[in-house]
Structure 1
Amino acid sequence: MQKIITAEQLCKEYNNGSNTVKVLKNIDLEIYEGDFTVIMGSSGSGKSTLLYCLSAMDSISSGEVKYQDQRMNNMNEVAISKIRRTEMGFVFQQMNLISTLSLFENIIISGYLKKESKKTVHSNAMSLLSQVGLDTFAKRLPSEISGGQQQRVAIARALINSPKILFADEPTGALNSKSGKNILDTLSHYNNNDNQTILMVTHDLKASLRANRIIYLNDGEIEGELALDKYAAENIDMVEREKNVLNWLQGMGW
C-alpha cells in the first residue's frame, strides 16, 4: 500500500507558563492511500492535536511529518498552504459555512483555490451537491437547512478539489444520531466508491465502525491499533463488528 503521510518520532509540546505540557510523545505512524483510518482515545489524549500536526495545521515540536515523502516541517508556509489548499480536505465538528453565501457559493469559493476554470468548478460543485443529496437546495443559505445537511455541504466543500486525503475532526459530534449516520454514510460512500483516503478523529463507537483501521491514543502515545475489514453495510455483521471493536477499545482502557 502507498503511504500518503508518515510521522516519525513526532512530539508536540506546549509551554504553560513555567510548565511544559507534552501532548504528543514520539509518535510513529503511517497513513495509507485508500484507508479509512480513525483516531480514538479518551478526552485529552491528543487526538485532535495529532490530526492537526499530521495535516500541518499545527507545528510540531520535534520529529518529522512527511506528506508523500516530502518533509513538511522543512517547508515554508507558502508551500504548506498550497498542499493544504489543493491536496487536502478538511471537515470539522463546526461546519464553518459562510452564512451570507448560498450552499453552492460555499462550495465554489473553495474550488477556486485550485485555479480551475469557472465552468469546471461550477460543474463539480453541482455534482457534489447532487451526490450528497442537496442539489435542489443549492441556492439556500446555511441557516435554511439542518445541521446534518450543513455538514454534508461541508463535506462537498472539502471534496471540491479532489483531495488526496480528507481530514475529519469529530464530524458527527454536534449532530443527532440520524444526521450523524447520514454523514458517516456519505464518508463511507466516498471511501468505498472513490477510494478517498480519510483520517478521522472521533469519540463515537458507531463512527469508528466505518474504519478499516483504528489507532488508539492514550496520554499522547499510541497504545494500540486494530485492523478491520473494509466497511460495506450490506456485507458486514454490524452487531459482531461493534462487539469486537468495543471489546478492543475497552481493553485499551476506553
Structure 2
Amino acid sequence: MEPLLKVENIKKVYGKLSAAYTALENVSFDIHEGEFVGIMGPSGAGKSTLLNLLATIDSPTEGKIYMKNKSIHDMKEAALSDFRREHLGFIFQDYNLLDSLTVKENILLPLAIAKIPAKKINHLVTQISKVFGIEDLLAKYPYQISGGQKQRTAAARALVTEPALILADEPTGALDSKSATDLLESLSTLNENNNSTIMMVTHDAFAASFCRRIIFIKDGSFSTEIYRRDQTRKAFFQEILDVHAAIGGEADDII
C-alpha cells in the first residue's frame, strides 16, 4: 500500500555561507492512512521546522515531500492553497478562534469557505461536535468557554472537513491535565473509529503515549522510532521516557 505521506531525504538550511544553520538533515519517513504518529525530540531537534515543511508553511532546501503521490512543494501557490485547504487539518497550541463568531460558526467556517451546502454543513458540525463533547456549547462565544473547550472547538474546526492528514502542533501545551486527556482521547477515538490520520508534534510523553508510533529526531536527523503495538498506554509511556532519555533529552523537554 502506498503511504499517504512520504518524506524523502529532507534537508532544511537557514541563512547562507558562514551564517548557515542546518535545521534538518537527511530526514526520511512514511505515514500511512489511519496512523497516529508522534514526532518527538529534545529542544532544538527540528520538530517545528519539520512540521512547517509538512504544513507547506516553509519549503525544504533539499529533498521531497509527497502527499498522495504529489510533490507538494512543486505546486504553484494557487494549487498549493487549494491542496492545503482540501487535504490538511491544523491544530495549534493557540486556539486561533474568532471571538466574534459562536463555537458553531467557528467550526463551520472552513466548510462555508469551501461552499459546502448548508444541510451538509449542519450534519458535519453536529457530528464532529459530538466527538469532541461540545455539542452543548455551539451557541456560545469563545470568551464564554474554558481553554480546554476552546481547544476542542479548534480541533473540531480542523477535522470537520475530514482532511486526509491532521497536523497537531503541541495541542495540549496550554491545557490542564483533564482538558489535555479529554482532547487526546477524542483524537484517539477519531483515529480508531474513523481511520483518521494524525501526526502530532509534542514534547509531552503523556500526550505521545496516545499515539501508535513515535518518531524521534535529534540534532535535525532521524534518530529512532518505536511502536505501541499491543502495549498498554502506561507501558508505552515508560518506553517513550526511556528512549527520550537515551537520545539525550532533558527532563524539561518531556513534561
Stretch of structure 1 that moved more, 159-168 or 49-58:
49-58
RMSD (Å) for aligned C-alpha atoms: 1.5
Alpha-carbon separation, structure 1, partners of 2:135 and 2:232 = 33
Deviation (angstroms), 1:249 = 2.0
1:128-187 CA-to-partner distances (Å, cap 9, x unmatched) read 112211111111111110000001001110011111110000000011111111111111
Alpha-carbon separation, structure 2, partners of 1:149 and 1:156 = 10
Give the conservation status (yes or no) of the 8 Å contact 1:37–1:198.
yes
Provide the residue aligned with 2:96 in structure 1: 96
Give the conservation status (yes or no) of the 8 Å contact 1:88–1:167.
yes
Equivalences for residues 58-207 of structure 1 within 5 A:
58-207=58-207
1:33-67 CA-to-partner distances (Å, cap 9, x unmatched) read 11100000111111011012122121111111111
Alpha-carbon separation, structure 2, partners of 1:34 and 1:222 = 22
The one-letter amino acid paired with 2:49 is T
1:49-87 CA-to-partner distances (Å, cap 9, x unmatched) read 101212212111111111111111211111111111011
Give the conservation status (yes or no) of the 8 Å contact 2:209–2:234.
no
Bigger proportion of residues as strand:
1
SS in 1 for 2:30: strand
Number of corresponding residues? 249
Alpha-carbon separation, structure 1, partners of 2:145 and 2:16 = 41
- Give the structure-1-normalised TM-score: 0.93
The one-letter amino acid paired with 2:235 is E
Deviation (angstroms), 1:18 = 5.5
1:200-228 CA-to-partner distances (Å, cap 9, x unmatched) read 00000101111111011111101111122
Alpha-carbon separation, structure 1, partners of 2:237 and 2:192 = 19
Give the conservation status (yes or no) of the 8 Å contact 1:86–1:113.
no
Provide the residue aligned with 2:252 in structure 1: none
Gaps of 5+ in 2: 250-255
The one-letter amino acid paired with 1:98 is L
The one-letter amino acid paired with 1:120 is K
Q: Tell whether 2:242 aligns with 1:247.
A: yes
**Equivalent of 1:237 in 232, 239, 245:** 232
Alpha-carbon separation, structure 1, partners of 2:142 and 2:2 = 38
Give the conservation status (yes or no) of the 8 Å contact 1:166–1:198.
yes
SS in 1 for 2:20: strand
Alpha-carbon separation, structure 2, partners of 1:162 and 1:238 = 26
Provide the residue aligned with 1:34 in structure 2: 34
Alpha-carbon separation, structure 2, partners of 1:30 and 1:190 = 20
Deviation (angstroms), 1:16 = 7.1
Alpha-carbon separation, structure 2, partners of 1:93 and 1:74 = 29
